[in-house]
């Protein structure tokens, strides 16, 4: 099933450059009114670009890790567009962190990466979820994770093992190696929010999914690698535009579509929406769970 996104209101965080910019443009192309927020001043220019698609747009320079900013932004979006239907939690920070870093650097990394990638996503989610519940017409949340949380990018049974895949037949290890502990910690939190929100909000037809992205050409990845990335390596990176199409495809699944899923986009594989994997939830009923009350009695 493919539903139209026309006339919906979408929020995209971190949309001034990079992947979020492509997401915001894709939402406008699909006919959504789009609200964007970003630390960078150039976010203001994006509203006019988006409006060329015949939709309404609203752009704010602001920090998603700040509760007052998030509160005001979401309230203003609701006031301007009459509600909100889609949240794409994309704003992200990424830099090298080493176990031997001193406490000042470690704290700065924590504030920047956990602050944006986890706290920002959490705050934005809470503000939007309250509105989605009030509206009672379902909704969509897409969180942006990383492929560091998965092995081959897909369960082995559906990985096509392309000859171009840099990991060959051996499952790649999870994590970003030894230089990204706090980035990975912040993004693993993203999976937790995705799973918890998807379960809690399923009865209200609010779907929550997470993009587990591999290397994708953007300001962030070019800044992270600097001169260290060879042209051959850069050529393997995915594009923000292809990633945006995958998000559109997720959203177009509509209320009957997948929820609680980590959608894996990995270098060496086509940047497409993989088939739905039905998450298997362990429920209290399925495991004969004994409640605290029963134990105490």
Which chain residues interact with ligand NAD by CB under 6 A? 13-14, 16-20, 37-40, 63-65, 90-94, 116, 120, 144, 146, 213, 215-216, 218-221
Q: Which is nearer to ligand NAD, 29 or 225 (CB)?
A: 225
Pair 219, 20: CB distance under 8 Å: no
Least distance (Å) between residue 282 CB and ligand NAD: 28
Distance of CA 10 to the CA centre of its chain: 13
Least distance (Å) between residue 116 CB and ligand NAD: 4
Listed residue (155, 199, 215) closest to 19, CA to CA: 215
In 3-state terms, the chain is what percent helix, strand and coil (to 5)? 45, 15, 40
Q: Which is nearer to ligand NAD, 188 or 254 (CB)?
A: 188
Least distance (Å) between residue 238 CB and ligand NAD: 8
Vertex 216 angle, CA 118 and 274, to 5°? 85
Q: Which is nearer to ligand NAD, 226 or 288 (CB)?
A: 226
Q: β-strand 262-265 against 86-89: which pairing, if any?
A: unpaired
Least distance (Å) between residue 4 CB and ligand NAD: 26
Of the CA atoms within 13 Å of residue 113, those in its CB half-sphere come to 23
Least distance (Å) between residue 272 CB and ligand NAD: 17
First-to-last C-alpha distance (Å) of the chain? 49
Pair 14, 92: CB distance under 8 Å: yes
Q: Which is nearer to ligand NAD, 108 or 221 (CB)?
A: 221
The sheet that has 86-89: what strands, in order across it?
57-61, 33-38, 9-13, 86-89, 139-146, 206-213, 262-265
Bridge partners (DSSP) listed for residue 97: 180
Outline where DSSP puts E strands in the chain: 9-13, 33-38, 57-61, 86-89, 139-146, 206-213, 262-265
Write down the residue that tokens 């699909």 correspond to.
30
Q: Which is nearer to ligand NAD, 243 or 259 (CB)?
A: 243
3-state secondary structure of 46: helix
Cα-Cα-Cα-Cα torsion 207, 4, 7, 49, nearest 10 degrees, comes to: 100
Least distance (Å) between residue 84 CB and ligand NAD: 17
Q: Which is nearer to ligand NAD, 116 or 131 (CB)?
A: 116
Which residues, 6+ apart, have CB-to-CB distance to 166 below 8 Å?
236, 267, 268
Q: Which is nearer to ligand NAD, 132 or 144 (CB)?
A: 144
Least distance (Å) between residue 31 CB and ligand NAD: 23
Q: Which is nearer to ligand NAD, 19 or 251 (CB)?
A: 19
Least distance (Å) between residue 66 CB and ligand NAD: 8
């Amino acid at each position: 099933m493919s539903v139209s996104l026309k006339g919906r209101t979408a929020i995209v965080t971190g949309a001034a450059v990079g992947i979020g910019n492509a997401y915001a443009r894709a939402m406008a192309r699909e006919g959504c009114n789009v609200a964007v927020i970003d630390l960078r001043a150039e976010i203001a220019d994006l509203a006019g670009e988006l409006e060329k698609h015949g939709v309404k747009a609203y752009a704010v320079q602001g920090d998603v890790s700040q509760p007052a900013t998030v509160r005001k932004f979401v309230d203003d979006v609701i006031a301007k567009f009459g509600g909100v239907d889609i949240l794409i939690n994309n704003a992200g920070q990424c830099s090298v962190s080493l176990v031997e870093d001193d406490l000042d650097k470690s704290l700065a990394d924590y504030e920047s990466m956990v602050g944006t990638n986890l706290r920002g996503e959490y705050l934005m989610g809470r503000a939007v979820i309250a509105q989605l519940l009030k509206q009672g017409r379902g909704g969509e949340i897409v969180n942006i994770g990383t492929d560091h949380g998965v092995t081959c990018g897909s369960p082995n049974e559906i990985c096509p093992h392309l000859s171009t895949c840099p990991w060959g037949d051996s499952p790649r290890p999870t994590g970003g190696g030894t230089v990204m502990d706090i980035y990975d910690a912040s993004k693993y939190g993203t999976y937790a929010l995705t799973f918890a929100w998807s379960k809690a909000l399923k009865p209200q037809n609010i779907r929550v999914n997470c993009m587990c992205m591999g290397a994708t050409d953007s300001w962030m990845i070019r800044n992270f690698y600097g001169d260290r990335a060879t042209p051959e390596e850069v050529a393997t990176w995915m594009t923000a535009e292809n990633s945006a199409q995958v998000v559109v495809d997720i959203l177009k699944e509509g209320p009957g579509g997948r929820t609680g899923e980590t959608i894996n986009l990995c270098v060496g594989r086509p940047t497409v929406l993989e088939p739905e994997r039905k998450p298997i939830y362990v429920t209290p009923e399925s495991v004969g769970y004994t409640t605290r009350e029963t134990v105490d009695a």
